[in-house]
Structure formats: C-alpha cells, structure tokens
Amino acid sequence: MYQIGHKNVDELAAEYGTPLFAYDEEVLRDRLSSYVKYFRSEEFRTGVIYASKAFSCKAMIRLLSEYGLYLDVVSAGELYTAYKAGFDMKKVFFHGNNKSLAELELAADLGVGNVVIDNAQEAECLAAVLEEKDKDMHVLLRVNPGIEAHTHKYIVTAHVDSKFGVALAQEDEVIRTIDIIRASGHMVFDGLHSHIGSQIFDRQAYAELAVKLFAFAGKLRDVYGIETDTIDFGGGFAAVYTAADTPIPLEEVCSTIICTSAEENRKLGGLIRNLYIEPGRSVVAEAGYTLYTAGCIKKTPNRHYVFVDGGMSDNIRPALYQAEYDLFAAGKEDLPKTETYTVAGKCCESGDILIDSIALPKIETGDILVMKTTGAYGYAMSSRYNKLPGPAVVFVKDGTAREVVRRQTYDDIIALED
C-alpha cells in the first residue's frame, strides 16, 4: 500500500475522510532546508521568501519560521494568517498589484518589514499611510523585464502589458515611481523585484533575468544617481506533475542565479549586496496529495468516466489552465493498467475534469484515488462552489498524521449567512 509520511493512504482516507489534502511533512521540511542550503553565497546576503499563495495555513507558516525563511503575502488574509502563526513581521514581503488602503494600513500596524510596490499610485498611497502612522518600511519595486519564460501563456507574468509591476520598457514610469518612494521619509528604497512566470524549466530564463536586473540596477546608479542594493528574482521554479516534467534541479537553479549575479555584480563594482528568491509551488507541490473516493463509474460513447467526491472545488487548475496530473488507485499500484478513464469531479460544470485521459487498473466504486503533486495552488485556490465543504489538510510524518486544517462542516458553510 502506498504511504504518505510512512502512513498507508487507505488509513488516512478512513481516519480523515475524503477529499483530503495529505502532505508528507518530511518532504516539506527537506524542501525548506534544501532551499536555504542551496541559495547561499559568499558574496551576497541571501534570503528565501516562501510565496504563501501556493499553500498557506498556520502550520505551514510555523514550519517556515523553523527553517528561517521569509514570507511573501499578497493580501490581508495571507498577512493575518502569518501574524496569527507568530511569524516575524519584519521578514514579510507584502506583494500584490492592488493592495487596498486598509491592507496597507494593516501592514503598517502589524510592523511588516517589506513592501513590493506595484505602481506609482500605490507608492503614493503607502507614503501617505506611513507618514500618518509614522512607520517605516523597506521597499522593492516590481518591474517587468519583458522576459517570457517557457510556460503556459496564462501564467506568464513579465510581458510588458502584464498587470503586475512596471515594465522596464517604460523607463520614465519606473523612475517616477522610484522618485515617489525616495521622496517619502518613511520608505527605504532597496531595489528591484521581478517574477517572470511559473512552472519554468529553462535555467536560461533566470540567467537572462539576472543580466537584465543587474544592468538596470547599474543604470539606476550611473544615469539617475539612484542607489540600490537588493534584487529579488521571484519564484516560478517547476515541480514534477507528470513524468513529462523535468525541472531544473534545485542546486542548479540556485547556482545559476547566484553565479550570474556574481558575474554581473563584478561589472557594477559590487553594487548589489542582497539576493532573494520566492519559490512557492516548488516548495509544496510534490509534498502534497489529494485523496478522493471513487463514486459512480459510467461509460459514454467515447469516454469511461470515474467520478470523484471532489473536483474543481479543491483543484481548479485543470479547468483553469489545463494543468496535468498523475493519479493512482490505492492498493492497485501494481495491477496492469487495462482501462482508460476520464477522472471527473462532482461540480456542476462540464469542465470539471481533473484528468482527461489516464490509464489505470479497473476502478471500482469506493476505491481511494490518490492524485499526486497537489500541494501547491490546490487547497489555496479551492472554492466553496456547489457548497462542497472545504477538505481537511493533514501533515503526515513518521506514520502519524496531524490535522492542520479541519474539514468544513455544513454549519461552517452557512456560518456567515443571515
């Protein structure tokens, strides 16, 4: 029987019900410590910022604290989760393209250390908030270097018309935004941030990014007299969803960024002192599994459906951008894969298909189906569509599971209703 954290998957399903998000805690811990180990340099002070949008709950945030990571939040909700988990607010980077006034005020009140500014209007707004509250923050500016990493078009984020950040091609706007930041007595302008996409397999994209960002930091100093000392390369490092995925090994992606940065920094006489990366998916994706119970099984003229007790409400990614996953039937791992199934969810949408076509042994109602690599953007993007209760989340280690998010009850679902 397949095990997660040394516990049989059928036992997890029996104890916690399905659908269930189960994380192998050792894998999570290994990823966190590996990132910290590999993203290290003699020349730079380095930091790994976990992008909590990939998967956020208090237990996850507490793990980050254990391993000394920083944290990326993009909303007051993510920020509040970190605060309640006791995370050091000075190590938070507050992102997002449309932070509201209330969110900026909360960030200032909680003592958030860093904000990644998206646009000039936001810079003005934050300046006013900090002035009024007499608080200070470190600031990076999110820029679009115009690099398109090879990834799905919906998750490429650094093209010039992206909704995120300011395009380097709009140099006047970049300078105007930095001027607003520098004119505030409460913002310390540290440098540049960029995030060029997700599920990136091409190490060259990060090397190109480093070349562009260092060159621009040099230009800021030499042409505009603006000093910076920090570059944040964003995230986007790939995970293995199916056998077709071959991500750049973690050591290599880290060393590509650090070595290219060192080379470029030499040209600038050592201008930059701090480097950050912001992995999300690659930290949590492969540690996570979704356990479903097979329900009805039916044949249509061209398909053999197996229906599961979740679907787009716990994993929107296949419907949203045709994300592909692997899945197996617990206890039937070694049986010949004689059937071809479409694995569909129970939501009222024809597009609620988790896997379009997969070879599996004969599936029977009641089988536990285990979908792999669902640790990122699964629970995080889940919805209450059709009022399906939010699944429980467990961390499993040394054969013991602990529920870090309990399953929603029907009363939870209507708790906010009049």
Ligand X SMILES: Cc1ncc(COP(=O)(O)O)c(C=O)c1O
The site for ligand X (CB under 6 A) is made up of: 51, 53-54, 72, 95, 195, 198, 234-237, 278-282, 376
Nearer to ligand X, 279 or 391 (CB): 279
The nearer residue to ligand X, 72 or 314, going by C-beta atoms, is 72
If one counts every other C-beta atom within 10 angstroms of the C-beta of residue 299, the result is: 8
CA 34/CA 403 separation, integer angstroms: 25
Give the nearer residue to ligand X in terms of CB position, either 18 or 282.
Answer: 282
CA angle 211, 213, 218 (to 5 degrees): 95
Shortest separation between residue 248's beta carbon and ligand X, angstroms: 13
What is the DSSP secondary-structure string of 281-328?
HHHHTTTEEEEEEEEEEEE-SS-EEEEES--TTT--HHHHH-----EE
SS3 state at 365? coil
Cα–Cα nearest to 327, from 347, 317, 341, 310: 341
Nearer to ligand X, 165 or 345 (CB): 165
Strand partners, 42: none
Under 8 Å between Cβ of 3 and 320: no
- Per the annotation, the verdict on 348 as an active-site residue is yes
CB of 54 to ligand X, least distance (A): 5
Most distant CA pair in the chain, distance? 69
Q: What is the DSSP letter of 134?
A: T
Q: Backbone phi, then psi, for 28, in 5-degree steps?
A: -60, -50
Rounded to the nearest whole angstrom, what is the least distance from the CB of residue 35 to ligand X in the complex? Answer: 11
Identity of the residue, 305 or 321, whose beta carbon is nearer to ligand X in the bound complex = 321
Q: Which is closer to ligand X, CB of 236 or CB of 391?
A: 236
**CA nearest to 258, candidates 50, 44, 404, 70:** 44
Nearer to ligand X, 72 or 309 (CB): 72
Which alpha helices (DSSP H) does 225-290 contain, by range? 250-267, 281-284
CB of 195: closest distance to ligand X in angstroms? 4
Minimum CB distance to ligand X, residue 77 (Å): 16
Cis check for the bond before 19: say yes or no (omega within 30 of 0): yes
Closest CB 261 distance from ligand X, rounded Å: 18
SS3 for 135?
Answer: coil
Smallest distance, ligand X to C-beta of residue 317, A:
12
Residues 6+ apart with CB under 8 A from 350: none
Phi, psi angles (nearest 5°) of residue 385: -55, 140
Calpha distance 74→308 (Å, rounded):
32
Q: Is 103 helix (H, G, I), strand (E, B) or coil?
A: helix
Q: Give, to the nearest 10 degrees, the angle between helix 101-110 and helix 76-84.
A: 20
The residue from 57, 125, 254, 348 that is catalytic is 348
CB of 352 to ligand X, least distance (A): 23
- Would you say the C-alpha torsion 70, 31, 191, 103 has a positive or negative sign? negative
Task: Give yes or no for a contact between 129 and 99, defined as CB atoms under 8 angstroms apart.
Answer: no
Closer CB to ligand X, 283 or 319, in the complex: 283
Catalytic residue positions, numbered: 348
